[in-house]
Amino acid sequence: MKFHWFAQQYYTRLPSDYGDTVHSSWVTPPAAVADPVQVGEDYHMYIRLMQQADGLGWDSLLLNEHHQTSLAMTPSPNLIASVLAATTENAAIALCGNSLALYNPPIRVAEEIAMLDCLSGGRVIAGIVFGTPMDTAFSYGVPPIELRDRFHEARELITRSWKAQEPFAFNGKYTQLRYVNPWPRPVQQEIPVWIPGSGSPETWDVVNELDYCYGYLSFSGKQSAAPIVGGFWDYTESQGANMNPNRMAFTQIICCADSDAEAERQYSDAVKYFYRQNPIGLEFATPPGYNTLPSIQANLTRARTQSAEERMKAQRGELSFWEYDELGYIIAGTPERVEQRVRALATDLRIGQLITCMHVGDLPEEVAAQNNHLFGSAVIPKLRDVWADEEDRWTPKVSQERVAAKFGSAAGLPA
């Protein structure tokens, strides 16, 4: 089993009434709320925590792309990735991802990922995403009906350009280039590709056809995610596609402490901050044309494992700390309890790539650093046996070798 360090790079000094008074934390949040100096301090904190994780045995450091939001101040994940590529040694750099439809021309993504792969010595995971409607349709003005076509055309151009031995012409519907010849080419002959999704059957078809890793990046936990993750595996099996658990990545908020009581004391406010301070205007979340008919049909027919009232209470920060834990939004407590819960999550949902959210909301850096230390030293080594007999072609070979060489038996890996 592999572990990928992640945090939504939240602005940590939002006003206490922000979630109640701001119509949407995405697309139209008031820019005056954010102090640029504080934003810089937040960036440095996230970088320090990722550098610490590199020294504790995580398999990758994961970054995402979002726009015009206080939830994730990462409009260009490749910029943070360049810092990490130059200042870390072991973990892969996972870009989950670059929103391909937003780049004109998208060859820019091919160039930057290749550059990062060279800088890191072959440690890049190329996560490529369709992008949320808030990012694509409203922040960047891409017509929702064009999004999938733009994405697939860009994906074809990018992956072809990494392998081409000589310049070629590309004549797509949205991109026409007489000369495609990116310098440099990546170190890796086959860069691992991940595609996050929210349950669309069309996305399942793509990842199964091309044998990519599918990422269900949910922040609602096991109970809410089970119908979608289970649906993916059922569909994959029905298509005769690869059932390797390392083709599934899943996000989980982790709150590790010396005791259960200490976990509640240290993390409760930050968990509620994370959920309460992130309202999204309904008009931004569901533009016509963004979801295809098969996606709408699949969503309507899926089983509901949570009531609408529970979901609303969670989003408003109205659940107790242990209610968030019981429903799976977080996994909290001592290292022993966290290990048991993560093991059950990974085996029940067939997850080989766990994206651990180690910082949440406005959590103080020292608590997040302790979270890193406890999980990295006392939990990760005990979970390496999960899916250990399965091949992993979705984590860079170089990073697998370096993590094994540095941590060896201490991380439950062959030295």
Residue 412: is its pLDDT beyond 60?
no
Residue 415: is its pLDDT beyond 60?
no
Q: How many CA atoms lie within 13 A of 63 on its CB side?
A: 29
Confidence of residue 283 (pLDDT cuts 50, 70, 90): very high
Q: Phi/psi at 127 (nearest 5 deg)?
A: -80, 130
Between CA 74 and CA 67 the distance in angstroms is 7
Strands 176-180 and 168-171: antiparallel
Between CA 374 and CA 259 the distance in angstroms is 11
Q: What is the mean pLDDT of residues 334-354?
A: 97
Task: Tell me the β-bridge partners of 253.
Answer: 330, 357
The pLDDT assigned to 310 comes to: 86
Are the CB atoms for 120 and 63 separated by under 8 Å? no
- Computed over every residue of the chain, the mean pLDDT equals 94
Confidence of residue 97 (pLDDT cuts 50, 70, 90): confident
Range of 358's domain?
A: 2-411
Per-residue pLDDT tens digits for 288-336: 999 888 888 877 776 666 777 888 899 999 999 999 999 999 999 999 9
Amino acid identity, residue 2? K
The pLDDT assigned to 301 comes to: 76
Between CA 401 and CA 397 the distance in angstroms is 6
Between CA 264 and CA 330 the distance in angstroms is 11
Cβ atoms within 10 Å of 145's Cβ, excluding its own: 13
The alpha carbons of the chain give a radius of gyration, in whole angstroms, of: 20
Residue 101: is its pLDDT beyond 70?
yes
Cβ atoms within 10 Å of 368's Cβ, excluding its own: 22
The burial class, CB within 10 Å (0-12 / 13-18 / 19+), for 238 is exposed
Between CA 214 and CA 205 the distance in angstroms is 11
Cα distances (angstroms) measured from residue 384 to each of 1, 7, 26, 293, 378: 5, 22, 37, 40, 12
Q: Both ends of the chain: CA-CA distance in Å?
A: 16
Between CA 146 and CA 265 the distance in angstroms is 47
The pLDDT assigned to 224 comes to: 84
Region of residue 65 (phi > 0: left; psi between -120 and 50: alpha; otherwise: beta)? beta
The pLDDT assigned to 297 comes to: 80
Amino acid identity, residue 49? L
Between CA 63 and CA 50 the distance in angstroms is 10
The answer to which of 25-34, 294-303, 363-372, 387-396 has the lowest mean pLDDT is 294-303
Tokens of 38: 């504080």
Per-residue pLDDT tens digits for 114-154: 999 999 999 999 999 999 999 999 999 999 999 999 999 99
The pLDDT assigned to 414 comes to: 55
Which CATH number does the domain housing residue 273 bear? 3.20.20.30
Q: What is the mean pLDDT of residues 92-118?
A: 96
Q: What is the mean pLDDT of residues 381-395?
A: 97
The answer to which of 188-192, 218-222, 322-326 has the lowest mean pLDDT is 218-222
| 220 SS3 class | coil
Locus of tokens 């409203």: 138
The pLDDT assigned to 409 comes to: 54
| 229 SS3 class | helix
Q: How many residues does the chain have?
A: 415
Cα distances (angstroms) measured from residue 141 to each of 103, 144, 175: 12, 9, 17
Cα distances (angstroms) measured from residue 102 to each of 96, 97, 107, 116, 378: 14, 12, 11, 19, 41
Cα distances (angstroms) measured from residue 95 to each of 32, 62, 106, 190, 215: 29, 6, 15, 15, 12
Tokens of 374: 């406890």
Between CA 360 and CA 369 the distance in angstroms is 12
Amino acid identity, residue 352? G
DSSP annotation of 45: H
The count of structural domains within the chain is 1
Strands 330-333 and 248-256: parallel
The pLDDT assigned to 295 comes to: 81
Between CA 51 and CA 14 the distance in angstroms is 25
